[in-house]
């Protein structure tokens, strides 16, 4: 029972273009969503987050959009850079006090020069 799904295992984008990574969830109790970036042989690092009371959050080149009715969120990277090439994980928090994140399977982003 995968409560958080990233249906695209990989995405390939040209440098300077927009990268759009998608994530769907099934549990309506999730109230906070995060994106993590992971390079090989390193731990995930926090990228950006959004509360369920918002529909958009922006941080520099990164923007996360949340559509609660569709239980869907997306991460936009504009413009994409070769250094953005990594695995991106979507994660959801169920609102407990202990931060038990539920992760998607991850999407491998490759940005070509």
Residues in the site for other proteins, rule: CB under 8 A? 4, 6, 9, 32, 34, 36, 41-46, 49, 89, 91, 93, 97-106
Q: Which is nearer to other proteins, 2 or 12 (CB)?
A: 2
* Residue pair 84/12 in contact by the 8 Å Cβ criterion: no
Closer residue to other proteins, CB minimum distance, 3 or 79: 3
The DSSP line for 76-105 is: EESS--GGG-EEEEEEEE-S-TT--EEE--
Q: How far is the CB of 26 from other proteins (least distance, A)?
A: 14
Q: How far is the CB of 97 from other proteins (least distance, A)?
A: 5
Instruction: State the minimum distance, in angstroms, from the CB of residue 68 to other proteins.
Output: 17
Cα torsion through 3, 24, 52, 35, rounded to 10: 90
């Amino acid at each position: 029972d995968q409560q958080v799904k990233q249906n695209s295992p990989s995405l390939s984008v040209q440098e300077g273009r927009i990268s759009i990574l998608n994530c769907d969830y099934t549990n309506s109790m999730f109230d906070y969503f995060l994106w993590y970036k992971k390079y090989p042989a390193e731990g995930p690092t926090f990228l950006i987050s959004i509360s369920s009371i918002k529909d958009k959050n922006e941080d520099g080149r990164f923007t996360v959009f949340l559509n609660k009715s569709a239980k869907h969120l997306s991460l936009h990277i504009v413009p994409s850079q070769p250094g953005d090439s990594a695995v991106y994980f979507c994660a959801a928090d169920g609102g407990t006090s202990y931060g038990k994140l539920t992760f998607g399977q991850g999407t491998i982003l490759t940005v070509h020069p």
